[in-house]
Amino acid sequence: MNTDNGNIISGKVIDENEKEYFIQKDGITYSLNKNELKKPLKLGGNFKGFAYENEKHVNRITRNIPDVSIDSYSWGKVVGKKFGLGIFIDIGLKDKDIVLSVDDLPDMKNLWPDVGDELLVSMKTDNKGRLWAQRADDKIYKAISQPAANPKLKNKDVNAWVINTKKMGTQVLTDHYNLGFIDRSEQEQEPRLGQKINARVIGIRPNKTFYLSMRPRAFESISDDAQMIKKILEMNADHHLNFNDKSDPQAIKDYFGISKGQFKRAIGNLLKNKIIKIEDDGIKLLN
Q: What is the pLDDT of residue 135?
A: 96
Query: For position 221, what pLDDT does the model report?
Result: 63
The answer on pLDDT for 15 being more than 70 is yes
Local confidence band at 104 (pLDDT 50, 70, 90 cut-offs) = very high
Q: Is the pLDDT of residue 253 over 70?
A: yes
CA 119 and chain centroid, separation: 7
The mean-pLDDT minimum among 90-99, 110-119, 132-141, 261-270 falls in 261-270
Residue 113 banded pLDDT, cuts 50, 70, 90: very high
Mean pLDDT of 142-146: 95
Which domains are present in the chain? 8-62 (2.40.50.330), 74-136 (2.40.50.140), 145-213 (2.40.50.140), 219-285 (1.10.10.10)
What does the pLDDT average to over 248-263? 90
Average pLDDT over residues 58-70: 93
Q: What is the mean pLDDT of residues 215-237?
A: 79
pLDDT at 235: 87
* CA dihedral (142, 143, 147, 153) positive or negative: negative
Q: What is the mean pLDDT of residues 148-158?
A: 84
